[in-house]
A and B are shown apart, each in its own frame.
Chain A
Amino acid sequence: MNLALSDEQVFLREAARGALSRFKTLEAARDALDGKGPLPDLWPVACEAGWPGLLVDDAHGGAGLDAFDAMLVLGECGRVLAGVALLGHLPATAILGASSVHAAGALLPKLASGEQRAAYLPACPPNDVYDSWCVDPAHGSERPAPPAATASGEEGHVTVTGSFAFVPDAPGADVLVGVALLDGAPVGVAIKGDSEGVSVEAVRRYDATRSLGHVALKDARAALLDVPEESLAAAWYLAQSLLAAESVGAVETALEVSVAYAKERHTFGRAIGSYQAVKHSLTEVLRQQENGRSLLYYAGWARQGSPGEFPLAASAARSVAGHALDTAARTMISVHGGIGATWEHDAPLYFRRAQLSRRLLGGTGGATDRVAGELLVGAAA
């Protein structure tokens, strides 16, 4: 039994915290909302630290680490609301890493070094109620099918047509990696970002630190990846666990700032943190944070030690972490009183992060439903 971080993992986390502390990410987030200049480009920092190649094996120039290590880095990004394009990049490298075709092998070293950047085209695997893959819609709650691929006749290549809404880190990505249906069967595809028939429309919603794009593919030429369906599904759950880790990181900061303020702010002759009403709401944030953290361990362990449980573990982590971040952000605002709801304060930045994050990649509601689905299938078996 060992759920403690290794020395290397502690180092990875501390190094990430140190590297990101050189940037005023929170001020930049507020300025970006105000239209005062772009966010700092953190990709060079990521490349210097080796983050783009975290999940790529040694042979292709990566660090050969595992999902849990990547979750530690995402947690640090979440703490300071740093927009590092790993949420898009890492699941894409995981799909390519599961493929043995030449195109994947040729791409991986460039992606591991960060010379090129990939984005993952998210598609949600079938479950016990819906028997098809689906992608997030651009509007509302409809469930569009994923893009269809058509065999082009040329060996190893297909053309893909379809659209993906709100794809993390899609703008500027050199490669798009995801799922398409070929004769009704899910296949992995890799598409160059500048190919003919590829259009990426950058979109911003509420949280300026989050780079998103609507991706439209029209007969776009793609490399066909020989990736088993489980690996395509695992990329979805990897993205869920990375987003969960990022959320738990943001909760940590929100809680620390709130607790510090509750100790220093006095009303009626005593610190507000001494009142049960305030104390109990802060322990509620701690409770949800620690539940989220425990589920990150579950997801990290399952990814390696029990892949069949990874969908359940990652979905549970996403569900709890998303809820925790909303609770933490709202509590942060309440504990600070009126000032917490003002533009100058950092609390609204965490609040904006919480509101948007919970609606991406199938939404926390979708993850919660998936937890039920996995358990119901298990119980019926």
Chain B
Amino acid sequence: MDLDDTPEQAAHRTRVRTWLEEHRSEAPVLRGPDALTDEDAIVAARRVWQGKLAEAGLAGVTWPKEYGGQGLGPIEQVICNQEIARAGVPGILDAIGVGMLGPTLIAHGSEEQKGRYLGSMLHGDEVWCQLFSEPAAGSDLAAVQARARLQDDGSWRLSGQKVWTTNAQFAAHGLLLARTDVDAHKHKGLTMFVVPIDAPGVTVRGLRQISGEAEFNEVFFDDLALDADAVVGGVGNGWGTAMTTLMFERVTIGLGGEGLGFNSARFAGAIAADEHASRDPEVRHRLGALAAEMLAVRFTGYRTLTELQRGQIPGPEAGLAKVTIVNGAIAAGELIADVMGPDALAEDSEWAYMISFLPGLKSAGGTEEILRNTIGERVLGLPPEPRLDKGIPFSELRAKEAAKV
């Protein structure tokens, strides 16, 4: 039992650390007095930085070499991420593309698609967004209604709305799950498409959240024309393709918890600044309880890494780490605000930002309730809830829902 690098991993880490030391000054500055403030300038600088990271082999580490990656394992990617964090420089801009959508294209895309899109994605020349969720399809993702209609010439016309779309405001492309057959039952009539974002017929609107910032977007499609070769993974196979993306999302979330900055040392630091609170038994109890769980998640991450290193794919139980992280951070926000008082809620306070961010995060990447259903069924083997939508054509389901209104 150890947390050590193998000799190969240590060599990899040294190479990465050396490169970062040599190139740190080229990284965009996002904090402090010299920080960039203009959003367009930030995005431009981060694109360039992503290109440098990709050139140096610090991004897309698990991608095959023929698509610009390093052909290495997830541990080597984690080592890169750790070293990037240690160097205090930003990571890649398009983590969703490189971490989830690129791997989906590698698994299901045509050779033409891989050749056309992967290189520019990896280098940050073209940023991607994930267009799965809709206003009426979140937990029940297979209920998507964005409709792609096949034309006589083999092309498609797409209309509908997507939501919770990160990075859409500067994305070039998106991976979009659409309904192509309303007469098939809901999981069967879906198809995955590559869609342009900066095209006529596509409208991106920022979605402001509790903090006042717009981290997500709504994206509207109005009779957007798509070529036949926009289909990824075959017509009618959209659900399976989406599952691949979500598997990569799980790996990303399972390994990235502390990347959000939710960790026991940071929370303890906020309390330690108050000498009276540091000796208060109730404060200490609350801090100790939430910190113990955050520490557990760190070692759950190491257990996950061990599985990955042995060639095993982390199961849905990695989702429990997300439940722990979010609820632990909520408890920390509560405690810190109780200790600091209203100053914790000043608009420019890091804690106000965290407190505002967490209620939404509870639903992001799978709501807590859906995660508990999935884990209860897949890990504990409990029977699923009876469903009323199995084996029914999607059009009939919709008619039923409409009739009940």
Q: A200-224, CB under 8 A of B: which get 1 and which 0?
A: 0000000000000000000000000
Contact with A along B358-397 (1 / 0, CB 8 A): 0000000000010011011101111111100000000000
A224–B300 Cα gap in the complex (Å)?
Answer: 42
Which residues of chain A are within 8 angstroms of B384 by Cβ–Cβ distance?
274
Cβ–Cβ contact B382 & A273, under 8 A: yes
Cα of A319 to Cα of B324 in the assembled complex, Å: 15
* B24 proximity list for chain A (CB < 8 A): none
Give the bracket for the number of chain B residues in contact with chain A: 35 or more
Task: Please determine whether A283 and B285 come into contact, CB atoms closer than 8 angstroms.
Answer: no
Which stretch, A46-54, A100-108, A344-352, A370-378, touches the partner chain B? A370-378
- Does A118 belong to the interface (CB within 8 Å)? no
Which parts of A247-274 form the interface with B (CB within 8 Å)? 255, 259, 262-263, 270-271, 273-274
Q: Would A379 and B299 be within 8 Å (CB), given that A68-B1, A279-B376, A290-B317 are in contact? A: no
Judging by beta carbons under 8 Å apart, are A378 and B265 in contact? yes
Contacts of B3 in A (CB 8 A): 1, 3, 301, 305
With the chains together, A122 CA to B375 CA distance in Å? 40
Chain B, residue nearest A269 (CB): B386
- Which of the candidate stretches A16-24, A83-91, A180-188, A292-300 sits at the interface with the other chain? A292-300
State whether the Cβ of B246 lies closer than 8 Å to any Cβ in chain A.
no
Q: State how many angstroms separate the Cβ of B138 from the closest Cβ of chain A.
A: 17
Minimum CB distance partner of B328 in chain A = A291
Q: Give A43-72 as 1s and 0s: 1 = Cβ < 8 Å from B's Cβ atoms.
A: 000000000000000000000000010000
Taken residue by residue from 81 to 117, chain A's Cβ proximity to chain B (1 for < 8 Å, 0 otherwise) reads as 0000000000000000000000000000000000000
In whole Å, how far is A225's beta carbon from the nearest beta carbon of chain B?
29
Q: Does the CB pair B288–A274 fall under 8 Å?
A: no
Which one of A4, A276, A317 contacts B310 once the chains associate, using CB atoms below 8 Å? Answer: A4
Judge whether A42 is part of the interface by a CB distance below 8 angstroms: no
Q: Using Cβ atoms and an 8 Å threshold, which residues of chain B touch A286?
A: 317, 320, 375, 379-380
Does the CB pair A369–B285 fall under 8 Å?
yes
Interface contact B382-A263, CB-CB below 8 Å: yes
Please report the C-alpha to C-alpha distance between residue A14 and residue B401 in the assembled complex, in whole angstroms: 54
Cα separation A271 to B287 with both chains bound (whole Å) = 39
Given the interface contacts A1-B2, A3-B1, A301-B3, does A320 sit within 8 Å of B306 by beta carbon?
Answer: no
Q: CB within 8 Å of B: which of A291-325?
A: 291-292, 294-295, 297-298, 300-301, 304-305, 312-313, 315-317, 319-320, 323
Can you list 13 contacts pairing A with B, beta carbon distance less than 8 Å?
Answer: A1-B5, A3-B302, A4-B310, A279-B382, A287-B320, A290-B317, A300-B1, A315-B292, A316-B292, A371-B288, A371-B292, A376-B287, A379-B265
Contact surface of B with A, Cβ cutoff 8 Å: 1-5, 9, 75, 264-265, 268-269, 271-272, 278-279, 281, 283-285, 287-289, 291-293, 295-300, 302-303, 305-306, 309-310, 317, 320, 323-324, 369, 372-373, 375-377, 379-386
